[in-house]
Amino acid sequence: MTTDTGDADARFRQWMRENLDRAAKHFGVTVTGEPLLGWIGRTVSAPVTKNGADYWLRVASEDQRWASGNHWTGNLAANVFTDLAKPQVLDMVEWEEWRLQRAEIMTRMPGCPCSPTDVLRAAVDFPDEWWAELRRTTDTVAAMRTERVNSTQEKVTERLAQRFGHAIDPTVLTWETVHGDLHWANLLCPEFGLLDWELWGRGPVGTDAATLLSYSLLVPETAERVREVYADVLGTSVGRLAQLYVIARLSRRIEGGDYPDLAEPLKRHAAALLEG
Would you state the pLDDT for residue 5? Answer: 61
Would you state the pLDDT for residue 41? Answer: 74
Q: Which domains does the chain have, with CATH numbers?
A: 6-107 (3.30.200.20), 112-275 (3.90.1200)
Encode 256-265: b = buried (16+ Cβ within 10 Å), e = exposed.
eebbeebeeb
Would you state the pLDDT for residue 21? Answer: 97
Mean pLDDT of residues grouped by 10 in the chain (276 residues)? 66 93 98 88 93 97 78 94 98 93 97 96 96 98 97 98 94 98 98 97 98 98 98 97 98 94 98 92
Please answer whether residues 259 and 119 qualify as being in contact, where contact means their C-beta atoms are separated by less than 8 angstroms.
Answer: yes
Would you state the pLDDT for residue 49? Answer: 98
User: What three-state secondary structure class fits 80?
Assistant: helix
For residue 95, give every residue at least 6 positions away whose Cβ sits within 8 Å of its Cβ, in sequence order, or none.
22, 101
Q: Give residue 273's identity as a one-letter amino acid code.
A: L
Would you state the pLDDT for residue 213? Answer: 98
Provide DSSP, 199-258.
T-EEEETTHHHHHHHHTTTTSHHHHHHHHHHTHHHHTSHHHHHHHHHHHHHHHHHHHTTS
Would you state the pLDDT for residue 4? Answer: 53
Instruction: Report CA dihedral (88, 93, 96, 100) to the nearest 10 degrees.
Output: 10
Would you state the pLDDT for residue 2? Answer: 45
